């Protein structure tokens, strides 16, 4: 009797379950697509001039009167340091060399930024370099200049020579520390170029520009670059100020794989030059990105070679090709190659054979030469004769 009752209960439960419809899952909500990033115009700053560039490519992201001649003030010391770094690398200056501080160097430091070295004392070169870079010491700068060239005037000649070598077309220096002079001038673009070159050539010494403070003769001085204490990605470079130049700052920051250099000239105060420089750096990192398009020796084309020992030759770029573009625009890049219609042997290794171009929104971003990644020597008599025969037809087909 109990078994029959249990079977009836199971059958009844199954019947009720069969009549109850299964739960229907709710339809999935559509995932909204992210809107394309809107790239605003670069900030317009209340300064005499400004520029923002990417370090590895030198591409300009933003600029404002960047070619106007301005007083560089103590940013001049970046040029002085560049000369001294060359002396260190060449072994003509050593960090432990003792440098005598002349009366002239001591006096020229009075009334301005100084390291507080004593006249007729001897200080090692490394301390003077840090005094120049961190404390912006006019006295340290002139002492090093006189040690290297005998006189400050001789050192300034070296500064101007190096400036011309690296392409600073609108700069001229008359003194080493950056004191006011009608013939002492530069531009935001030239300073950015100098900063980029110095960082690339001397990374081991560039590290000193991130030093937050430095003490000498019992006197502690803080690095005047306020961004070093506000933004951990900032690691340089140099401030400058005179009444006529206003407040200036060349700054650099690295976030991820991208380094930017911002130059602000002729700001109204120490605080505003930091804020304006930060605005430029934030704009660049927020809205732009760097991409490596082609690597060194990557094969980009294999054109046929006529009258040669080989049928074709590999073409590529001699160096990595990088580009800086607004974020979200990578898929819109358009690359093209300009190759000769006929490539005839011999072709030497490294020989330029055409160009590769990359455009964005119908504007040329970069143009690089294509070079032969291998050799294509001239073929023997039979190969030259056969190819010459076929070239006769090629020329006939291309004729109008």
Cα–Cα dist 296/370, whole Å = 11
| Active-site residue, selected from the candidate residues 48, 49, 74, 186 | 74
In the annotation, is 269 catalytic? no
**Region of residue 361 (left: phi > 0; alpha: psi -120 to 50; beta: else):** left
Cβ atoms of 115 and 131 within 8 Å: the answer is yes
**Which residue out of 48, 49, 113, 136 is catalytically annotated?**
136
Is 186 labeled as catalytic in the residue annotation? no
Q: What are the distances in angstroms from CA 373 to CA 203, 214, 275, 337?
A: 30, 50, 48, 16
Q: How far apart are CA 99 and CA 124, in angstroms?
A: 6
136: which 2 tokens? 């912006």
Handedness of CA 55, 58, 62, 67 (dihedral sign): positive
CA distances from 323 to 30, 74, 192, 318 (A): 35, 32, 18, 16
List, by residue number, the catalytic residues. 74, 77, 136
């Amino acid at each position: 009797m109990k078994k029959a009752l249990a079977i009836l209960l199971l059958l009844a439960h199954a019947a009720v379950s069969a009549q109850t419809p299964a739960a229907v899952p709710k339809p999935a909500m559509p995932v909204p697509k992210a809107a394309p990033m809107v790239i605003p115009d670069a900030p317009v700053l209340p300064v005499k001039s400004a520029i923002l560039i990417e370090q590895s490519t030198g591409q300009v992201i933003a600029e404002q009167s960047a070619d106007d001649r301005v007083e560089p003030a103590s940013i001049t010391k970046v040029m002085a340091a560049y000369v001294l770094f060359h002396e260190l690398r060449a072994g003509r200056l050593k960090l432990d060399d003792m440098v005598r501080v002349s009366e002239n160097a001591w006096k020229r430091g009075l009334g301005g930024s100084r390291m507080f070295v004593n006249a007729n004392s001897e200080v090692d070169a490394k301390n003077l370099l840090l005094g120049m870079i961190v404390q912006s010491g006019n006295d340290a700068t002139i002492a090093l200049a006189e040690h290297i060239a005998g006189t400050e005037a001789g050192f300034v000649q070296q500064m101007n020579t190096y400036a011309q070598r690296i392409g600073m077309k609108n700069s001229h220096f008359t003194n080493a520390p950056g004191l006011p002079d009608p013939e002492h001038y530069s531009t935001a673009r030239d300073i950015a170029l100098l900063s980029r070159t110095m960082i690339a050539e001397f990374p081991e010494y560039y590290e000193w520009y991130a030093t937050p403070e430095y003490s000498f003769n019992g006197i502690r001085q803080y690095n005047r670059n306020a961004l070093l204490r506000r933004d951990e990605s900032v690691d340089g470079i140099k401030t400058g100020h005179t009444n006529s130049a206003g407040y200036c700052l060349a700054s650099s920051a690295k976030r991820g794989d991208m380094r930017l250099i911002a130059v602000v000239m002729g700001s109204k105060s120490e605080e505003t030059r930091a804020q304006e420089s930060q605005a430029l750096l934030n704009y660049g990192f927020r809205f732009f990105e760097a991409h490596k398009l082609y690597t060194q020796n990557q094969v980009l084309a294999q054109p046929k070679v006529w009258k040669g020992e080989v049928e074709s030759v590999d073409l590529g770029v001699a160096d990595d090709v990088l580009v800086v573009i607004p974020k979200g625009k990578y898929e819109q890049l358009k690359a093209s190659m300009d190759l000769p219609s006929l490539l005839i042997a011999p072709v030497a290794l490294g020989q330029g054979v055409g160009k590769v171009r990359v455009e964005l929104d119908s504007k040329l971003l970069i143009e690089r030469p294509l070079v032969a990644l291998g050799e294509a020597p001239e073929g023997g008599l039979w190969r030259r004769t056969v190819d010459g025969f076929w070239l006769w037809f090629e020329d006939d087909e291309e004729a109008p």
